[in-house]
Amino acid sequence: MSDPVGAEVRARALALPVAEWWRAETVAPGVTKIVEPHLDPLLQANLWLVEGSERDMLIDSGMGVGRLAPFVDGLRDASRPLVHVLSHAHIDHMGGSWEFDTRLIHPAEAADLEKTDSGLATLFRDEIPQAMRDGFAAEGYRPLPDLLIDARPFEAFDPSAYRLTPAPATGLLGEGDRVELGSRGFTVIHLPGHSAGGIGLLDEADGTLFSGDAIYDGPLLPIGVMSDYLVTLERLARLSVSVVHGGHDASFGQERMREICADYLGRWG
């Protein structure tokens, strides 16, 4: 069987420089944004570390290319327990989840955490199904480069050997459930449409919303059921928030959230 990637591209991947894989930025007291800067922007998700008085919460886990848990522990008081919550089970948000003992997700996507394969579980463009690439282009993403990374996390890392590691859920979160951290807590909001089990986490006390991929300030992808996504956008447009920390791109406020909702309801509705 022919290699869709080719020996020359795989050789270039092995020759990539080694670089610090993670980057962190404090965006609010007790809230840290973590990204993988050497991934293509399509796969470069936002991870969120939220610190509490009794326990900390990590939302999402990236692609699983570089080791995440030691980096996260270096940002916080690692003597506190850590609860890992997944906004949904797409590869760019759950690839590193196997590193954590507690993994909470909506029941509609719990089985996805046990998978060993995904259409995006690759670091090479030509291993992504063409139909999926066409869908990204249709929603406004630029053409993908043949390599989806521009560095490696350590010298022995072989991009061709990248695989998804199963990480079965240890607990489930549904609409109205609470994630308590001691000094603050979050209510789970079910936001299907991008995926069946997408969730947001809302701190009603200060209006902070972690929205996963239900909404962010970039090209949205209706990978799930369109009718569900329209209901989710209508719900978000009515929600009272102070700041939205999305699964990709920069954070934004309530006015911008309503603009995005109106834009996509107009496009898709």
Question: Domain boundaries in the chain?
Answer: 7-268
pLDDT in the model for residue 140: 85
pLDDT in the model for residue 119: 64
How much is the pTM?
Answer: 0.96
Helix (H) / strand (E) element for 73: namely helix 69-73
pLDDT in the model for residue 149: 98
Two tokens, residue 222:
């209706």
pLDDT in the model for residue 254: 97
CB 169 within 8 A of CB 104: yes
- The string of DSSP codes covering 8-35 is HHHHHHHTPPB----EEEEEETTEEEEE
Nearest to 34 by CA among 59, 54, 17: 59
Pick the CATH number of 7-268 from 3.30.420.40, 3.60.15.10, 3.40.50.300, 3.30.70.260: 3.60.15.10
Query: What is the distance between the alpha carbons of residues 196 and 35, in angstroms, rounded to a whole number?
Result: 24
pLDDT in the model for residue 75: 98
Q: Please count the helices (runs of H) and the strands (runs of E) in the chain.
A: 6, 12
C-alpha torsion 57→86→122→16, nearest 10:
-10
Two tokens, residue 76:
């916080």
pLDDT in the model for residue 118: 67
- 85, amino acid identity: V
Location of structure tokens 């799930």: 224
| Local mean pLDDT, 10-residue blocks, the chain (269 residues) | 87 97 98 98 96 98 97 98 97 96 97 81 93 88 94 97 94 98 98 97 98 97 93 98 98 98 95
Rg of the chain (C-alpha set): 18
Location of structure tokens 């240890």: 170
CA dist list (Å): 90 to 5, 29, 37, 64: 23, 28, 18, 12
Query: What is the distance between the alpha carbons of residues 91 and 163, in angstroms, rounded to a whole number?
Result: 10
Nearest to 38 by CA among 194, 154, 121: 154
Distance of CA 244 to the CA centre of its chain: 14
pLDDT in the model for residue 1: 56
